[in-house]
């Protein structure tokens, strides 16, 4: 798949080459190749560990899957990444994120005060906002955060927020188009 006028070509898994080989492995493992993977496949050496990290953050953390999706969606809205929002809103619903929570995130409501979120989620989303915007966490939000989450969960939250902030920057900078059908699994 090629994009005229874009900053890069999205790798096609039906072609030859190392990037396509990575995508075929993703297709076998996950059943679908999305444009984020096609973008990353331009650098197979980077794509493989990034895909493994994303997979681990989705499936092997101490966090509830709904919390993972809340983090990703908050980063998507804070960074203006339509691709991340469109890709993850259905996944968030499937993970148990409520319509009220999706509305609050979509409207960029203040997580510290929005009634759609539990106290634990408020603490998490406040820190995610601070990580995403580059503001150092004030003592008050860190205290609520440390009280609500284990050390492993705190590392996972920060890793997800930081990684998806970087992914959002790449998706927007490369103007990666939305995927044609359904969310990734």
Q: Whole domain around residue 50: which residue ranges?
A: 18-59
pLDDT for the residue 184: 53
Residue 5 exposed, middle or buried by CB count within 10 Å (0-12, 13-18, 19+)? exposed
* 49 and 69 inside one domain: no
- What's the confidence (pLDDT) of residue 83? 96
Give the pLDDT confidence score for residue 4 in this predicted structure.
Answer: 38
Shared domain for 162 and 108, answered yes or no, is yes
- What is the pLDDT at residue 158? 92
pLDDT score of 153 more than 70:
yes
Task: Answer yes or no: do 73 and 128 share one domain.
Answer: yes
Q: How far apart are CA 68 and CA 62, in angstroms?
A: 10
**What are the tens digits of pLDDT across the range 61-72?**
999 999 999 999
Distance CA 160, CA 78 (A): 14
Quote the pLDDT of residue 141: 61
What does the H/E/C string look like for 21-34? HHHHHHHHHHCCCC
Is 158 a member of any domain? Answer: yes
Each residue of 19-41: pLDDT tens digit?
999 999 999 988 899 999 999 99
How many structural domains comprise the chain? Answer: 2
Does 127 lie in the same domain as 38? Answer: no
The pLDDT confidence band at residue 111, using thresholds 50, 70 and 90, is confident
Torsion of CA 10, 92, 81, 157, to 10 degrees: -100
Examine the fold and report which residue of 40, 59, 78 is the final residue of a domain before the chain moves on: 59
105 and 129 both lie in a single domain: yes
């Amino acid at each position: 798949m090629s994009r005229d006028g874009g900053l890069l070509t999205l790798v096609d898994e039906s072609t030859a080459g190392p990037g396509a080989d990575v995508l075929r492995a993703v297709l076998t493992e996950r059943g679908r190749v999305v444009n984020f993977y096609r973008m990353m496949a331009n650098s197979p050496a980077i794509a493989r560990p990034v895909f493994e990290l994303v997979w681990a953050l989705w499936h092997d953390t101490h966090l509830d899957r709904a919390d993972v999706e809340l983090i990703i969606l908050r980063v998507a809205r804070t960074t203006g990444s339509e691709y991340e929002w469109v890709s993850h809103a259905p996944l968030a619903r499937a993970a148990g994120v409520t319509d009220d929570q999706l509305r609050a995130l979509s409207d960029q409501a203040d997580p510290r005060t929005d009634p759609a979120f539990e106290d634990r989620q408020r603490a998490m989303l406040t820190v995610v906002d601070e990580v995403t915007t580059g503001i150092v966490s004030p003592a008050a939000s860190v205290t609520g955060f440390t009280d609500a989450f284990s050390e492993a969960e705190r590392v996972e939250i920060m890793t997800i927020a930081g990684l998806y902030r970087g992914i959002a920057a790449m998706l927007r900078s490369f103007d990666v188009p939305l995927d044609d059908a359904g969310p990734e699994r």
